[in-house]
A = this chain, B = another copy of it.
Amino acid sequence: MIKRKLGIAIVGLGGAVGTTMVAGIELLKKGLIGTEGLPLAGFNIGNLADYSDITFGGWDLFSDHLAKAAEGHDVLTHKQFIAVEEYLRKIKPWPSIGNKQFLANVYGPNQFSYESHRKTIDKIRNDLQEFKKSCDQVVVINLASTEKLAVEGNEIFNSFAGFETALDENSLDIAPAVLYAYSAIAEGIPYGNFTPSVAAEIPALVQFAEQQSVPIAGKDGKTGQTFIKTVLAPALKTRALKVDGWYSTNILGNRDGLALSDEDSLASKVKTKSSVLDDILGYEVEDHIIDIRYYRPRKDNKEAWDNIDITGFLGQPMQIKVNFLCRDSVLAAPLAIEIARLLDLAKQRGEKGVQEQLSVFFKMPMTKKGKPVHAFHEQQKMLLNWLKE
């Protein structure tokens, strides 16, 4: 394995997932944790940056250094916190793009706001250029709280030319997530969207990424409930067990949960979760319901409860219930790390545009063309095949 310094620039660095990524890599370097949860830890692939060669930077609406942020998120154990406190204290997020319009329930003071999109982009590109100086390669990962659902099929998103004009005209339809993605691509920096927000998947940016020879991937990290869903559903199909209904409910109490208690942001989230099932099964499930509730007692410990109604032989009904007591950031952080390493690898391999082989990490995988593969084991197969190349 060659030594290459990989810089991960995180949109939402001070959030629960971001701080967990930073703290986790530091704990790993110190030998205080193992590699549980890191899907590629057991793989030996040349050119894939080593975990211990990763450094972090990023933007956040809150300016707290990461030790303060980590204390608030309460993801680390007390022992782990003490072990990395000093290190985290030194990392402070860069000011973030102001986004009150697109993120209703989370307001933070560490933001800048320009009248022109072009100036905003210049600022972000400048941050990236600075960060790049200390690394062999930078990758941008979006971990910011879910933004309101942008109007889909918005004409300005459909071509690069049109989008450029809209940028010039400071269109209000262009959300911060889109500006980060644009800036990364403009800098030739791979971009991964771990959130449900609209960003690099709009046709204009896909085109831009191809043009710039930049690998991009997304969207919405497949951590808990949807992970289980894409594991179980293909098996039910194999057994010809008809899915009559799937009721999924979630409770979580972290900052992301708060963001989702805004109805429009919730709509954005639910959207990335919902087509999955029908696509896997090959028919429309009559009642596929997804609830997400902000519930403070849980903090970062997300819990999902799924009830699945199936019909088997003789037309007889059966039920499967899955209760996943997970930790949002503990599941998300290692996936975001792997996405960054793989985008860096893709860049080295000369790949550009949508990286479909990263589908296994996303709820709503971007594809070069056509429908995404959702079945978990098929996605993993795609990744393994690409890695073997």
Contact = CB atoms under 8 A, between A and B. Distances in A.
A351 interface: no
A376 interface: yes
A314 B75 contact: yes
Contact of A78 (B78, B296, B331): B78
A348 interface: no
Contacts of A251: 247, 289, 307
Given A235-B231, A320-B228, A38 B313 contact: yes
A76 to B, nearest CB: 7
B297 A37 contact: no
A380 interface: yes
Interface stretch (A137-145, A149-157, A237-245): A237-245
A309 interface: yes
Contact of A320 (B235, B296, B323): B323
Contacts of A107: none
Contact of A39 (B33, B239, B249, B291): B239
A312 B291 contact: no
B241 A36 contact: yes
B309 A297 contact: yes
B36 A312 contact: yes
A45 to B, nearest CB: 15
Contacts of A38: 240, 313
Interface string A20-42: 10011001000001111111011
B314 A319 contact: no
A245 B296 contact: yes
A176 B333 CA distance: 52
A24 B240 CA distance: 15
B305 A307 contact: yes
A327 B321 contact: no
A41 B311 CA distance: 15
Interface in A219-242: 227-228, 231-232, 234-235, 238-242
Interface residues of A, number: 73
A79 interface: yes
Instruction: Name which of A42, A286, A313 has the most chain B CB atoms within 10 A of its CB.
Output: A313
Given A320-B324, A323-B323, A325-B319, A331 B312 contact: yes
A330 interface: yes
A284 interface: no
Contacts of A78: 77-79
A293 B289 contact: yes
A247 B257 CA distance: 15
Nearest to A335: B239
A350 interface: no
A330 B316 contact: yes
B309 A41 contact: no
A334 interface: yes
22 contacts: A24-B313, A33-B315, A35-B240, A36-B240, A37-B241, A37-B312, A41-B240, A78-B79, A228-B232, A231-B231, A245-B295, A249-B291, A249-B305, A251-B289, A286-B297, A297-B317, A312-B334, A313-B331, A313-B334, A320-B322, A321-B324, A322-B323
